[in-house]
A and B are shown apart, each in its own frame.
Chain A
């Protein structure tokens, strides 16, 4: 069966809420029914058929042929299947996803992977602020799964993260892993100011020593632990990185002692 493909007719004139177009919700729907779904958010909201040409029949493999910064909530709430966006995405891509695989081939906006609990989200370009972070008032950010950004991430990546693996390959903005509760965040490339700000527990794993850090972190020197080798191997096996990240005896900061102080920043030495 061929993948269900949504081909973008023209750039949309309003923000779209694409959370309806996920394998779980399209299962069993005819193309005609899908074309009538409301995805616009303005006073005269657009329907799927207004924006996309629809082809293909495999409801568990969805492709958006062409993207836009106005594609909000792509793959939000998906629990299985595969979804590809050949282009950009807007805010909250993969929000609350709990399974399956979501790939965005270009850049995406803020709150990508917000509150995701499972599955794999891959962003081949850059992501906006609050990557994997909670919306206002929510207590938890990412709660599980794997989120990979092949480009850069904005500020507050991994805010209030609780579980799972978040990997950013070309550096990130300020306050990476802020208010983190647990989980692992990998960053290769330049890290902005104050990583781990108010983190309680969890691990920030860098390929270099962070430049500015809150004074409430303590330098613990070099650590000789099995974890670094084990995790390096996982990152390569899982095709997240192609060479080891931490190496033997990474450097370590402990903190943030402004709060619980059980978190750690591990980083590769000698670079």
Chain B
């Protein structure tokens, strides 16, 4: 079927062709205008803007920890009643079904679950396969696992290291590697409760820096498109800006992605010893082209923090609201679920401002990514309000008036007059994520790209515009009309597929037999375990 979108304003910074033109869709792809053919279906998009489908690079939407959070907070299901019209009877709030629908309604077509524990891979992929409409991908967690730490301790060759990383990527069907508070979860098992970048893991004698550098080098050598995704040490602690700062300095010419930098933007100034260091970090990011960051913006209200950073979550137990938590001191990272309510008090206001400072002070929209670290800073449903804050000074000023003034005095937010343009939004949420993840077939509207297209009706209410897309196409299929899902389909999970080294497979078999007394088959799974036609799609490595 040939579809023509006409009359809309195309925002496509990659191809440099913003302005009014027609888009043609054939067989799920964007094509050049076919000569001598007539469209089977034409949509008149006058008064609308047209962007590629948005890509979220860091949102916890599936896996063991997400599911544990659901179990911990069943009252969220009651809060979801009365059930919205026309949803399946078995559906409650916060399900895989609503995740896919809500993302699609906002024009998002690809979402990355950034923290999949290797031993949770099957569960995670089963859950992702149950999320309708959108494409998904995962980052697999390494860096606190005994096997890797032992390799580093024993000064194993870099080839062996690469083989292990490649085997993990292949067996967990993921798109990249994440390291979470490198070494701290291993040290936690030895009762260490504070862990910084140059601290050493007991029993292994390996520093956090060494782990990060080793993984970063391996990822780079393997040609994994997405640079090592680093969740740094000391998240959320006053003074954590110093940790982020040394981590940024440690890139040494190799790409590195720093996740949810907002949670590291804190200094120790002021009466409460809690202040903003966002300006310093932003300048450092501006001066270091190796580093990309996502923000992890905080918005106000009830949420639940879900993290495999067990050290951090353990220390946060006292702040839980409501007062209940799950802490799992599990293999590798373990994890922690701590519900939290961001209030408009001093601390909440400061965190909110730090995130916005980072957005506004980092000049290059290709290197700063749009996240709330869902659900840690805020649920992804708050994205439209955040777009509005970035695009409108007035919206920021209005919000600022509601917040704690003494907190905002410790930030530079009041002096920042920048407003994001639609082009910059398109870069930050479409073009740059596609490039960062190595997804050449999306994030732009050029000929040959997958027809993932979001159409928004231009209006004065920016949040409203982004909350309910006028039309959304996923692979050329119309899935959303006027902010409502009109068609359910199943997306794919994007993965790299490196061929694992045979000697490494044998070694992993021996390791699992010896360590767990279980066959390696317990930990790996074939594609057929996911009961969908073609559950995966391959992304190529860049070497």
Contacts and interface: CB of A to CB of B under 8 A. Distances in A.
Tell whether A pairs with B.
yes
A139 B74 CA distance: 11
B34 to A, nearest CB: 48
Nearest to A17: B82
Interface string B73-109: 1111110000000000000000000000000000000
A138 B78 CA distance: 10
B522 to A, nearest CB: 32
B323 interface: yes
B76 A137 contact: yes
Interface string A121-148: 0000000000000011111000000000
A139 B339 CA distance: 13
A138 B322 CA distance: 9
Interface in A29-85: none
A138 to B, nearest CB: 5
A137 B323 contact: no
A139 B321 CA distance: 10
A137 B75 CA distance: 5
B324 interface: yes
A139 B324 contact: yes
A238 to B, nearest CB: 32
Contacts of B75: 135-138
Nearest to B74: A137
A135 B76 CA distance: 11
Contacts, number: 16
A19 to B, nearest CB: 12
B322 A139 contact: yes
Nearest to A139: B322
Contact of A135 (B78, B322, B323): B78
The range of chain B's interface size is 10 to 19
Contacts of A138: 75
Interface in B54-78: 72-78
A42 B472 CA distance: 33
Interface in B494-527: none
A95 to B, nearest CB: 11
Q: Which residue among A137, A138, A139 has the maximum number of chain B CB atoms within 10 Å of its CB?
A: A137
Contacts of A137: 72-78
A114 B523 CA distance: 44
Interface string B308-340: 000000000000001110000000000000000
A97 to B, nearest CB: 17
B323 A139 contact: yes
A136 B323 contact: no
Contacts of A135: 75, 78
Nearest to B71: A137
A136 B75 CA distance: 6
A137 B302 CA distance: 15
B76 to A, nearest CB: 7
A18 to B, nearest CB: 15
A135 B74 CA distance: 9
Contacts of B76: 137
Contacts of A136: 74-75, 78
Contacts of A139: 322-324
Interface in A130-170: 135-139
Interface string A95-139: 000000000000000000000000000000000000000011111
Contacts of B72: 137
B208 to A, nearest CB: 36
A136 B323 CA distance: 14
A142 B77 CA distance: 21
A25 to B, nearest CB: 16
Contacts of B323: 139
A46 to B, nearest CB: 15
Nearest to A138: B75
A139 B322 CA distance: 7
Nearest to A41: B82
A15 B74 CA distance: 22
A138 B77 CA distance: 11
Nearest to A135: B78
A139 B324 CA distance: 8
A150 to B, nearest CB: 30
Interface of B: 72-78, 322-324
Given A135-B78, A136-B78, A139-B322, 7 more contacts: A136-B75, A137-B73, A137-B74, A137-B75, A137-B77, A137-B78, A138-B75
Closest 4 A-B residue pairs measured CB to CB? A137-B75, A137-B74, A136-B74, A139-B322
16 contacts: A135-B75, A135-B78, A136-B74, A136-B75, A136-B78, A137-B72, A137-B73, A137-B74, A137-B75, A137-B76, A137-B77, A137-B78, A138-B75, A139-B322, A139-B323, A139-B324
